[in-house]
Structure 1
Amino acid sequence: MVYFFIRFIAASDKLWFMLEMYSFVDYFTIPPSFVSIYLDRTWIGLRFLRALRLMTVPDILQYLNILKTSSSIRLAQLVSIFISVWLTAAGIIHLLENSGDPFEFANPQPLSYWTCVYFLIVTMSTVGYGDVYCNTILGRTFLVFFLLVGL
């Protein structure tokens, strides 16, 4: 939250700051943290959206003069986008599978976040061991669209 306010104060265009992607990540991840502290409960929520922050790593590495050539900068950007999309998609699958089908309030599958990351990597690499799979309709639908966009 402190980082959000520092970025807000440092922003030259406050409206643009309020509408950029990283601000939306903060909108969806900061308030639920305080609600969970207040209610003394935890839930899955949208914490997985914080993985989108990994897309700023190449900028930081470039600022620190670790990445100097344009090809290394581009490669770091590509890898960071790839990893952040994978981790975010795994979070969506984690949320959908642990919540169950919303139409029947049934069929939840208790999967850990890292099991969902494993499932997504195995599925995207077309190995598909079959040890983990989507049970819910929304999980399967999301996976189909993710695979179509990913291919």
Structure 2
Amino acid sequence: MVYFFIRFIAASDKLWFMLEMYSFVDYFTIPPSFVSIYLDRTWIGLRFLRALRLMTVPDILQYLNILKTSSSIRLAQLVSIFISVWLTAAGIIHLLENSGDPFDFMNPQPLSYWTCVYFLIVTMSTVGYGDVYCNTVLGRTFLVFFLLVGLVSSLLINYSFT
């Protein structure tokens, strides 16, 4: 929260700061943390959105003069985007599978976050082992769209180089 206020004070355009992606990450992750402390209960919530902060790692490495060439900067950006999207998608699967469908709360599946990370890695890299799968309709729907976006983006990347 302190980091959010420091960034807000340092921002030249306050309106643009309030509408940028990292501010929305803070909006969805900071208040639930305080509410869970106040209520003395844990809640899955949207804490997984903090993984999107990993996309700033290449900038930090560039400012520290660790990344100097443009190819190493691009590679670090690619890896950080890939990992942050993967961890965020695992958080969405974790939230959807542990909450159950909104029309039928009788079908939640107690999966840990790291089981969801494993599930996405196995699903995206192979045809899947079948040991972990989505039980909820929302989880399956999200997974279908996640896989389709991955396939379409890989096709666009492959055809842009030819």
Same fold (TM over 0.5): yes
Question: Deviation at 1:126?
Answer: 2.0
SS of the counterpart of 2:24? helix
Match of 1:149 in 2: 149
Question: Deviation at 1:49?
Answer: 0.1
Question: Deviation at 1:105?
Answer: 1.3
How large is the Cα RMSD of the aligned pairs? 0.5
Q: How far apart are the structure 2 equivalents of 1:21 and 1:31? A: 16
CA offsets 1:36-55 (integer angstroms, 9 cap, x no match)? 00000001000000000000
Number of positions where the alignment pairs a residue of Structure 1 with one of Structure 2: 150
Structure 1 ranges of 4+ moved more than 4 A: none
Question: Deviation at 1:84?
Answer: 0.2
* Residues 1:39 and 2:42 are matched in the alignment: no
Structure 2 unaligned segments of length 5 or more: list them. 151-162
CA offsets 1:72-97 (integer angstroms, 9 cap, x no match)? 00000000000000000000000000
CA offsets 1:14-70 (integer angstroms, 9 cap, x no match)? 000000000000000000000000000001000000000000000000000000000
Identity %: 98
Q: How far apart are the structure 2 equivalents of 1:137 and 1:106? A: 12
Structure 1 unaligned segments of length 5 or more: list them. none
Match of 1:49 in 2: 49
Q: How far apart are the structure 2 equivalents of 1:39 and 1:111? A: 24
Q: How far apart are the structure 2 equivalents of 1:47 and 1:90? A: 12
TM-score, scaled to structure 2: 0.92
